[in-house]
Every structure is written in C-alpha cells, then in structure tokens.
C-alpha cells in the first residue's frame, strides 16, 4: 500500500456547519493526517495524507460532509512531493 497526499477544495455551504471538525473525525478514523481550514471565499481547503484506499474513501466523504452541509463541488489534486504531517489539525 502506498501513501499519498492530496489537496481538496470543497465548495457549497461548508462553513459554520462543523465541516472541518467532521472531516477531522473522518480522517482520524482512517489514519489520515493533514488539515482542514476555512478559506476567505467560503470554501474549505482539505489537505490529507495517508494510504491510497483511505484517501479515496475520505475524498468520497467530502462530497457528503456532516449533516447541515450542502456540498456543491469538490476539486482534488494529487500532490507528488508533499510532506505528510504527523497529525490532523483544523484551522
């Protein structure tokens, strides 16, 4: 199994609905490190590193999010030379 890192930008009603905290919970369940942070334009940026299968699962979950979220778009880019953090943070 290989480890990889990806960055996702999540668009929709994703701020003020516990999206970052729920993403952190989902990441920790899957052994994923990284962060989730609000952006000034209303999106949430999610940087995640872990096993490819876990990354795929979490990437799918990003389209759903927590109750109250209304995700309209998710863009994901694979980062070839990213440094994987040792924990998952929210900003």
Contact (CB, 8 A) for 9 and 3 = no
* DSSP letter, residue 27: H
Catalytic positions, written as ranges: 20, 38
Torsion on CA atoms 84, 85, 86, 89, rounded to nearest 10: -140
Q: How far is CA 10 from CA 1, 70, 72, 79, in A?
A: 27, 10, 8, 17
């Amino acid at each position: 199994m290989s480890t990889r890192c990806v960055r996702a930008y999540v668009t929709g009603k994703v701020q003020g609905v516990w999206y970052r905290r729920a993403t952190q919970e989902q990441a920790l369940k899957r052994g994923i490190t990284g962060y989730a942070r609000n952006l000034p334009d209303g999106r949430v940026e999610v940087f995640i590193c872990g096993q490819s299968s876990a990354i795929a699962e979490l990437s799918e979950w990003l389209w759903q999010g927590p109750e109250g979220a209304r995700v309209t778009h998710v863009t994901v880019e694979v980062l070839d030379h990213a440094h994987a953090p040792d924990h998952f943070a929210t900003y």
